[in-house]
Amino acid sequence: MISNQPPPEKMMFQLTLRRRGISDQAVLRTMEEVPRELFVEASDRDGAYRDSALPIACGQTISQPFVVAYMTEQLQLQKSHRVLEIGTGSGYQAAVLSKLAREVLTVERYRKLADTARARLEKLGCHNVEVMLGDGLDLPANIGPFDRIIVTAAVEQIPQNLIDRLELGGILIAPVGPHQGVQTLTRLIRGDRGIERKELVEVRFVPALPGVAREL
């Protein structure tokens, strides 16, 4: 029998995201479209649609799908938006963002991860993503402003120089807390009367570290 239905592991993937509370249809569709198996290590392909973080090169991790979907939903993306991501990692979150926004600039401190992610994203046709090697916590002043900023590595505090790059009405989301242990996903909105801050859910991210990594 010929069927148009997605394979069972992708159906489970969607079900898990919905069950955990993701309801934005555009986000759910995008999570279905982006092939996560191409962003994990070859030996982890079979488990690519389980709801767990997985190791990638340079001792880093690709985030858990629920957390990617949740952060994306919280950003309330529109097709006109310019987005900044700190922490390219595998490039998976950037691919998800690229389908829902106009332009994505994603910054990574490991050259190897930046190069691999860039090649992957090009191959997948995500032409509106630019991958930059650099320290996302210390960007040159001429970069920005952005409608949305997403930090995908743990910060003890949200750097003021990132907040300053938010457009009016802009949203920033970041895991805030100690480098080892649990962080609180925190959302800032720049409104007419200043910054509105909301703490969302607990998460575990690898730490944001200063400078471009010396290793390749």
CA dihedral sign, ordered 109, 209, 71, 194: negative
d(CA 199, CA 181) in angstroms, rounded, equals: 17
- State which of residues 71, 108, 162, 172 lies at the interface with ligand SAH (CB under 6 A): 108
Q: Which residues, listed in sequence order, are joined to residue 146 by a DSSP beta bridge?
A: 166
Check: CB of residue 153 under 8 Å from CB of residue 162. no
Active site residue 63: yes
CA distance 39 to 199: 29
Q: How far is the CB of 122 from ligand SAH (least distance, A)?
A: 16
Does 208 contact ligand SAH by CB under 6 A?
A: yes
From 3, 23, 43, 63, active-site residue = 63
CB of 40 to ligand SAH, least distance (A): 9
Contacting range for ligand SAH; rule: CB under 6 A; set: 43-51, 74-82, 102-110, 140-148: 102-110
CB closer to ligand SAH out of 33 and 196:
33
Q: Is 98 in the site for ligand SAH (CB under 6 A)?
A: no
Instruction: List alpha helices for the chain, DSSP H.
Output: 8-19, 25-33, 65-75, 92-100, 111-123, 160-163
Q: How far is the CB of 109 from ligand SAH (least distance, A)?
A: 4
Q: Which residue has the tokens 């730490």?
A: 207
Write the CA distances from 182 to 52, 54, 136, 198, 200, integer angstroms: 16, 17, 21, 17, 13
Nearer to ligand SAH, 20 or 168 (CB): 20
107 binds ligand SAH (CB under 6 A): yes
Cα→Cα distances 66→79, 93, 131, Å: 22, 11, 23
- Which run of H or E residues covers position 182? none
Interface residue with ligand SAH, options 34, 104, 113, 158 (CB under 6 A): 113
Contact 109, 135 (CB under 8 A): yes
**Residue ranges in 37-96 that form contacts with ligand SAH under rule CB under 6 A:** 60-63, 86-87, 89-90, 92-93
Minimum distance of ligand SAH from residue 79's CB (angstroms)? 21
**What is the CB neighbour count within 10 angstroms for residue 90?**
24
Site for ligand SAH in 137-166 (CB under 6 A): 137, 152-153
Provide the minimum distance between the beta carbon of 59 and ligand SAH in the complex, in angstroms, as a whole number. 8
Residues lying near ligand SAH in the complex (CB under 6 A):
60-63, 86-87, 89-90, 92-93, 107-110, 113, 135-137, 152-153, 206, 208-209
Query: So which residues are the catalytic ones?
Result: 63
